[in-house]
Amino acid sequence: HQHQHQHQDTHDEYDAFDSLDESELERRAIEDRKKRRDALMAKFDKGTQNTESTQSIQSTQQAQHTHPATPFTENLKGIVTDPHEGISAADYNYTLDRREDVDSGGVADGATDTATATATTTSPNPPSSDASDDDMFALQPSKKQKRSHTTTNTSKPSLPIDGSTDSEGYYMHTFGERLDNNRYIVFASLGVGMFSKVVRVKDTHAHDKEYAVKIIRSQESMKKAALKEVNLLERLKELDAEDRKHVVRIERTFEHRGHLCIVFESLGMNLREILKRFGANVGINIKALRAYAHQILLALSLLKKANVMHADMKPDNILVSENKALLKVCDLGSAADVSEGDITPYLVSRFYRAPEIILGLPYDTAIDMWSVGCTLYEMYTGQILFSGRSNNEMLKKMMELKGKFNHKMIKKGVYGTRKVDNNAHFTEHFDFISNEVDKMTNQASQMVAKTLPFSRPTKDLRDKIIPSIAEQKGMKEDEIKSLHAFADLLDKMLSLDPQKRISVRDALGHPFFTA
């Protein structure tokens, strides 16, 4: 990676979001990124320069034209990521990934995995409010009410179909419509997910204050799941009466034409949108990251106190306020009490899925710490850390970075060794069985099993975070120390063994935050 580091003379962590808004600085930053991209493409695309380098220049010019003119752009680190390495976190479309898990072995009942990588590694797709998964994340009202479903649900709506409910049980709202005895006025559509659609409303009982309303599909199973989420949110709200722990606040619920409606505080973008709009393939600077990471960990501390697993932590489920200083964890649709942790290999969106889930081990709140580690890596680098297309490939990528699993974990896992399960990931001698596409046919449907003995990592997490000695020239000493501390924190968050993974308390006390 090439690094361009910008320095800000401030002692307040939130000043990371209040950068210089000078056109000359922006022009220089854009020009420097262009030169670095051109050099990078020339390095990796020799032999096809006449075609591919032209495309690179065009895409770079387009990126310059569409890059938002906002102070937040000054928080970009300026890292230009090798376009041939990994998957862009900004391009990740999490609503389609469920299909890949189904294809690779089926999603267990009750699993709510809805994530995928459909992205290319070079040019990001434009943000789409239609790709939302029960989100409250879109900045602008949707002009079209489209919906893209990843699964076909054959269950029938629990109520007769009328003019307000479609054949799949979704409520069909209209702009200007009033909900709950005329209290709320609908003025924007924020997206459609598997369980609901989300709209933005104005509360006429509170001087037109804006809220987000999640309108649950009119199916009993959906309503039951939503009521569970409501109970968890109410419980968390009671434990955080002063609203200091950065979990989205539920306001109230009501029924509307047979649909359960949940009213939430209204926030702005999610962290994926931050990357899409301000840091595609780039990431945010270390000071902004520290502020966000601290708030996410405070949310985990509240969940830990309640003995609750979020079970779907990822950038898409973390909302940011309009001024980008405040962050809140949202979407507890997959959340559950630790005592409810049934063994299922498809819990949590795949790229953020902890190894103990994949191996079929008992799990607890440590799964959220793993997911947060993956999320923070994305926020800093702009790249997805583990982009496996299946659980098997996820394990392979984890071991490439972190080394071999201890035999105890493999032995205890339901999907550990073939001695226990024919579809397990390891031999009786604890060698990894990699399911790979047959190179002879190159057909994804024809997989071959290869035994891969892992002994030590083949990649280094620190190399992905800390710049080389040459690149450190001109950097402040405290910046370099911060990067080393961040790499150490990530390493501890991503311990393969959940028993050795850093706790929330220790993470909050880590030198990354305290030094």
CB 113 within 8 A of CB 97: yes
DSSP 143: S
d(CA 362, CA 305): 19
Residues 6+ apart with CB under 8 A from 382: 79, 81, 88, 89, 90, 275, 279, 280, 281, 282, 283
| Helix residue ranges, H only, 220-285 | 220-239, 271-278
Q: Is 41 exposed, middle or buried (0-12, 13-18, 19+ CB in 10 A)?
A: buried
In sequence order, what DSSP letters do the residues of 333-346 get, joined into one string? TT-EEGGG----TT
Are the C-beta atoms of 480 and 367 separated by less than 8 Å?
Answer: no
481 annotated binding-site participant: no
Query: Would you call 319 helix, strand, or coil by DSSP?
Result: strand
For the record, the structure tokens of 45 come out as 């695309």
Cα–Cα distance, 186 to 179 (Å, whole number): 8
> SS3 string of 227-242?
HHHHHHHHHHHHHCCC
- The answer to whether 414 and 359 have CB atoms below 8 angstroms apart is yes
Partners of 197 in the beta sheet? 192, 215
The pair phi, psi for residue 56, each rounded to 5°, is: -65, -45
Spatial separation of the C-alpha atoms in residues 119 and 114, rounded to whole Å: 15
Respond yes or no: is residue 103 known to be catalytic: no
209 contacts 183 by C-beta, under 8 angstroms: no
**What radius of gyration, in Å, describes the C-alpha atoms of the chain?**
23
φ/ψ of residue 171, rounded to 5: -75, 135
Annotated catalytic residue within 312, 316, 331, 368:
312
**How many angstroms separate the CA atoms of 226 and 215, rounded?**
10
Question: Which residues, in sequence order, are CB contacts of 275 under 8 Å at separation 6+?
Answer: 89, 90, 283, 284, 315, 378, 379, 382
* Chain centroid to CA 62: 26
- Which residues line the annotated binding site for ATP? 214
Catalytic residues: 312
